[in-house]
Amino acid sequence: MSSVGAGSSLQVHAVRFGPGQELLGSLQAFVEKRGLRAPFIITCVGSVTTAKLRLANATATNTNQVMHLSGRFEIVSLVGTLNPDAHLHICLSDGEGRTFGGHVLGDLEVFTTAEVVLGEAVDLTFSREMDGRTGFPELVVRSKTEEELKALGF
């Protein structure tokens, strides 16, 4: 599996999502509409009323370790990459300060707001390819030049 360790120029995008919007789908639509090829979350603050998270003890053969949350939760942290197969992790806190976190599967319905700052590594492209060692599609980083050559069949 190929992976580039090179640096890149950075472009920053900011967006706010409002009540009732599904955050993961909205972020993916934002990325697709703007044609971002190596996007990632820089920061996010806001709140959600629902969340569907895959827990840390899930494996490639046992992916049903899922938590469904419903209530009012502050987004304490949201991190990850937003290529077509987004890989995001979130940490949420409830009204008593208890935290819950995991791999985002969706159902992140915005409660009041979700203010997100995205970065794009403009000289790179992100994709996901199956990794036999983990059993999951894992991040592959390529330079734009490498990606353009691959598209041409080289």
CATH number at residue 39: 3.30.1330.80
Does residue 37 fall inside a structural domain?
A: yes
Domain count for the chain, please give it.
1
| DSSP states along 141-153 | EEEHHHHHHHHTT
CB 1 within 8 A of CB 140: yes
Does residue 2 fall inside a structural domain?
A: no
Polymer length of the chain? 154
Does residue 47 fall inside a structural domain?
A: yes
Does residue 1 fall inside a structural domain?
A: no
For residue range 30-49, list pLDDT tens digits in order. Answer: 999 999 999 999 999 999 99
pLDDT of 31 reads 96
Residue numbers of the domain that contains 78? 10-151
Rg of the chain over Cα atoms, rounded to whole angstroms, equals: 16
d(CA 55, CA 5): 29
Residue 148 CB partners (closer than 8 Å, separation 6+): none
Residue ranges in the chain modelled with pLDDT below 70: 1-6, 58-60, 63, 146-154
